[in-house]
Each structure stands twice: as C-alpha cells, then as structure tokens.
Chains A and B, each alone.
Chain A
Amino acid sequence: GESVGLHLPTLSVQEGDNSIINCAYSNSASDYFIWYKQESGKGPQFIIDIRSNMDKRQGQRVTVLLNKTVKHLSLQIAATQPGDSAVYFCAENNAGNMLTFGGGTRLMVKP
C-alpha cells in the first residue's frame, strides 16, 4: 500500500504493550477533538472523540485525555495489536465539522 507519511514522528511498541500518542493543539477556543487512524492507502477513520467539558473519555481499548490548560491531547491504546499499526492524527473541530488536523504520529507494532 501507499505510505501516508514518510517523515512523521514514529512510536514503536511491542505487541501487547500500551501505546500513548500525544498531540498539541493550537486553538484554545476549540471545544471538540477527535482522534483518527489512517492506514496506508486509506482515508482517516474515526477512533474516539472528546468535548472540551470533559478531561477523559474511554472507548474499547482506547482512552483519550484532554488537558486544556496546556492544550494537549493524548490517545492511549491498551494491549496494542499489529492491526493498530497506522498513522494517528488528532483534529480540532472549531466550527461545524471544519477540522484542523495535527501532523500525525506513525505507530509501529512489533510482533
């Protein structure tokens, strides 16, 4: 498949370990944040979202943490699997689903 990013920061983890992917956002007025997963040759896929009135939200094997004080988001993936290998983007939804994406992090899972 085609690579979605050749010069992205890379996080390499062992299968079964937990992964933490970090993201800094720019607009202090942003009130909704989303994490996307993008596999090679595919479009971004929604993982989990969080509103600014929350500081933590959990999904299946994923948790998003929001620190508005320092404008920081993190995505935690529990028991990382080979299928989790992809590029992960955070995005701010400033108004009406017009998203501002971060630069992305490549997650590589070693078997």
Chain B
Amino acid sequence: DAGVTQSPTHLIKTRGQHVTLRCSPISGHKSVSWYQQVLGQGPQFIFQYYEKEERGRGNFPDRFSARQFPNYSSELNVNALLLGDSALYLCASSFIRTGNTGELFFGEGSRLTVL
C-alpha cells in the first residue's frame, strides 16, 4: 500500500520567490496536515484540512496557505520566501479528524532550501 507521498523531495529557491509543495494522502484518508520542521527541532503544526476545509491553523504568517482538493490531496503554498523558511515540510494524513484515535501517518517530507 502506498503511504503518504510528497513532492518535490528537495528544492532550492531564492528569497522572495514562491513555492508550492504537494501531498497525496493514504487512500481513504480524508484529513491532511502540514508541519514545518526546522533542522534540530521538532515539527511545528501549520495547517489541517478535512473534507476540503481548513480545520486548524498554527502560528504561521499569512504568507503560508494551503488547500485540499476533492481527491483529498493537498498543496502548501509559501509566498515571499525568507531564509528562515528553509526547513523540511512534512505532510501527514489520518482517517478521522476529531478525537484522538486517528493515527497520523507522515510522508518523507519536502526539503526546502531558501538562498
């Protein structure tokens, strides 16, 4: 069975540019979450989407946006890139949104480097 897939795996951008990261959840999972992991730290929650609607947002500026498509795949967009946006961006999917019984499955991440 395919796990959570993310693309691209690595990318390099320059300050001020825009980036789009993509995520396909595990088949049957309707909830997708995005996390940012800066080197040396734990992942930080950015967004959660469920049934194509934003259900949660972490403490990130408006330069960060996301959406979920009818097939439950998702995109994370970051505008006006800053050096501090360099990180591993992780996508996670789960079958259910609410409650605490839905295990979160993470993809391998997209490594973004901003020069």
Contact = CB atoms under 8 A, between A and B. Distances in A.
A49 B103 CA distance: 9
A100 B40 contact: no
Contacts of A5: 39-41
A58 to B, nearest CB: 17
Interface string A40-62: 01111110010100000000000
B44 A101 contact: yes
A104 B41 contact: yes
Contacts, number: 75
Contacts of A44: 43, 90, 106
A31 B97 CA distance: 15
A3 B39 CA distance: 8
Contacts of A104: 41-42
Contacts of B35: 99, 101
Interface stretch (B14-22, B61-69, B107-115): B107-115
Q: Contact size class for A?
A: 20 to 34
Interface residues of B, number: 34
Interface in B69-111: 88, 90, 92, 94, 96-100, 102-109, 111
B107 A43 contact: yes
A43 B42 contact: no
B53 to A, nearest CB: 12
Contacts of A103: 41-42
Given A89-B42, A99-B45, A2 B111 contact: yes
A5 B45 CA distance: 18
A46 B103 CA distance: 8
Given A41-B108, A42-B108, A43-B109, A97 B39 contact: no
Contacts of A45: 106
A97 B106 contact: no
Contacts of B109: 42-43
Interface of B: 4, 31, 33, 35, 37, 39-45, 48, 55-56, 58, 88, 90, 92, 94, 96-100, 102-109, 111
Q: Which 5 A-B pairs have the closest CB atoms?
A: A101-B42, A43-B106, A32-B100, A5-B40, A7-B40
